[in-house]
Amino acid sequence: MTATIKDVARVCGVHVSTVSRTFSAPHLVNPTTRSRVLAAADDLGYRPNRAARALTTGRTFNMGLIVADIANPFFPPLIKAAQAQARGRDYHVFVADTDEDPRVEEELIRTLTKQVDGVLLCSPRLSNKMIERLAEDVPFVVVNRRIKGMAAVLMNVAQGARLALEHLAGLGHRRIALVSGPIGSWTSNEMQGVAADATGLDLVFFGPNQPTEAGGLAVAADVAACGATAVLAYNDLVALGVIEGLSAMEIGVPDQISVIGFDDILPGRLNRPKLTTVAMPAVAAGRMAVDLLLQSGGEGATVTLDTALIVRESTGRAQT
């Protein structure tokens, strides 16, 4: 016969409500008790009826995770971390990709609202006003966007941009090209804000650009023509595209132009030259976003995670 919640409670010597809480709100159960209940449930083959729980609690035990571009190697580690964190809280995650299109982003949010208890919105392209409007229907946690009154996980882009510019300045670079990302990108705005405040540097701005290798490739000729000896790119994909474009023009990296990206994705480590980059804590952000959604219900709390400069082979001393 199929095991019931009463069977699990009897084996563990706890009340049925404790077993129920172990699956519906595990953070409210003593860790030792929770482990005992989960072990007994596993031994008995008990699985909670999600449909029944939804009717009882008014919750779906699902959350949506919307990313700007699932093909970008930055996002899969974040997705996997969020899924693992949610699974530990007995939640399922529905993943959706906007393909960098704000209209698709809005459609996906409106569709998911009917099926989830909250939405994790990563690198959104919608305006703050539209996100605030959509958040009236379902709790949000936004990753890499600051919106007043809304829970957010921020990777410290400004910190990373300062470290990158200080590194380039220390190598003797003064004229630096800043290759930004798409319209509506919080990360681009943070980078540009730091660059605008930089002293002793001659910054040349290029953008908006597609946040892809093709976007970097398309701007490479303009970067080469502007006389910059270094490039700070919106992300690693753009940086790799710039390097590819410079290489096609027989401009050496880092011998003639240094290049720094953002994210620390695997292709950057495999590239030749290996890419100097600002490492973004994607795994920690995925975990924290899930925790914030379940703890705060999408209201107010903001967590900022440190970034770090990783110096590899794509930066060198400026030519004199």
Q: What is the DSSP string of 204-257?
A: EEE----SSHHHHHHHHHHHHHTT-SEEEESSHHHHHHHHHHHHHTT--TTTT-
DSSP designation for 125: -
Spatial separation of the C-alpha atoms in residues 286 and 318, rounded to whole Å: 37
From 3.40.1160.10, 1.10.260.40, 3.90.600.10, 1.10.10.60, which CATH number describes the 5-48 domain?
1.10.260.40
The pTM of this model reads 0.83
pLDDT tens track, the chain, 320 positions: 678 889 999 999 999 999 888 877 777 899 999 999 989 988 888 877 665 555 455 678 899 999 999 999 999 999 999 999 999 888 999 999 999 999 999 999 999 988 899 999 999 999 999 999 999 889 999 999 999 889 999 999 999 999 999 999 999 999 999 999 999 899 999 999 999 999 899 999 999 999 999 999 999 999 999 999 999 999 999 999 999 999 999 999 999 999 999 999 999 999 999 999 999 999 999 999 999 999 877 677 899 999 999 999 999 999 87
Domain segments of the chain: what residues? Answer: 5-48, 62-155+282-307, 157-280
Q: Which fold has domain 62-155+282-307?
A: Rossmann fold (3.40.50)
6 burial type by CB count under 10 A (0-12 exposed, 13-18 middle, 19+ buried): exposed
114 burial type by CB count under 10 A (0-12 exposed, 13-18 middle, 19+ buried): exposed
Spatial separation of the C-alpha atoms in residues 115 and 312, rounded to whole Å: 44
Which sign does the torsion angle of CA 224, 160, 205, 317 carry?
A: negative
Contacts of 22 (CB under 8 A, 6+ apart): 29, 33, 34, 37, 38, 41
Half-sphere exposure of 247 (CA within 13 A, CB side): 15
Q: Which fold has domain 157-280?
A: Rossmann fold (3.40.50)
Give the pLDDT score at 55.
46
Instruction: Tell me whether domains 5-48 and 157-280 share a fold.
Output: no
Residue that is written with structure tokens 């404790």 in the block: 18
Give the pLDDT score at 9.
92
